[in-house]
Homo-oligomer: A and B are copies of this chain.
Amino acid sequence: MMSAGMGRWEANPRGRLMQAAMELYTERGYEQTTVAEIAQRAGLTERTFFRHFADKREVLFSGAALLQEAIVNAVAEAPESAPPIEAVAAGIEAAGDYINDREHSRRRHAIIAANPTLQERELIKNAALAAAIASALRKRGVTEPAANLTAEAGVAVFRVAFERWLKETGEKDLRAVIRESMEELRGAVAR
């Protein structure tokens, strides 16, 4: 039970660590930041940091695992009658519901863009996401190469939509931008 006066912030060591890490990565660079400094800024111990994250890179990528799970589940749960591309569209649109803090996403994106090792990690996560979506499609009975092609196209749409959403200033949410981008792809690829 939380003691009286204990706010949401104090009760959320993981969130505090993430916030402190993002600040430090932005201020002094990812490479230059140590776990000790992150813990100190969050007012916590290194021990607590390692209870929540394997290392300082994990702070930036722990969300990606949840995102992949959400996408794969939505692909799996699409109506049986949905063609592969529509199952994939449902999957990546579901991702839109998990990403709504545009300021946080912009900061994360800037941190990754400034560091080649983090960029590589991001590419690997995207490749793993495409493989997981292809696997979910095969479980729906989609054969190769359609499963791989549709999954790769879906990840491409997700990435392009995500970058558009980061750049936009309007109120459009990520789900809407993903839906539009998928329509754009289908229009561009149509005969």
Contacts and interface: CB of A to CB of B under 8 A. Distances in A.
Interface of A: 83-85, 119-120, 123-124, 127, 144-146, 148-150, 152-153, 156-157, 159-161, 163-164, 181, 184-186, 188-191
11 contacts: A123-B127, A145-B160, A145-B161, A145-B164, A145-B181, A148-B160, A149-B156, A152-B153, A153-B153, A186-B190, A190-B191
A157 B188 CA distance: 15
A184 B123 contact: no
A70 to B, nearest CB: 21
Contacts of A190: 186, 189-191
Contacts of A124: 119-120, 123
A156 B152 contact: yes
B188 A84 contact: yes
Q: How many copies of this chain sit in the oligomeric assembly?
A: 2
Contact of A152 (B120, B159, B164): B159
A162 to B, nearest CB: 11
Contact of A188 (B120, B150, B160, B191): B150
B191 A149 contact: no
Contacts of A150: 185, 188-189
A53 B146 CA distance: 38
Contact of A120 (B120, B149, B159, B160): B120
A160 B152 contact: yes
Nearest to A86: B191
B152 A188 contact: no
A116 B84 CA distance: 30
A189 B85 contact: yes
A164 B145 CA distance: 8
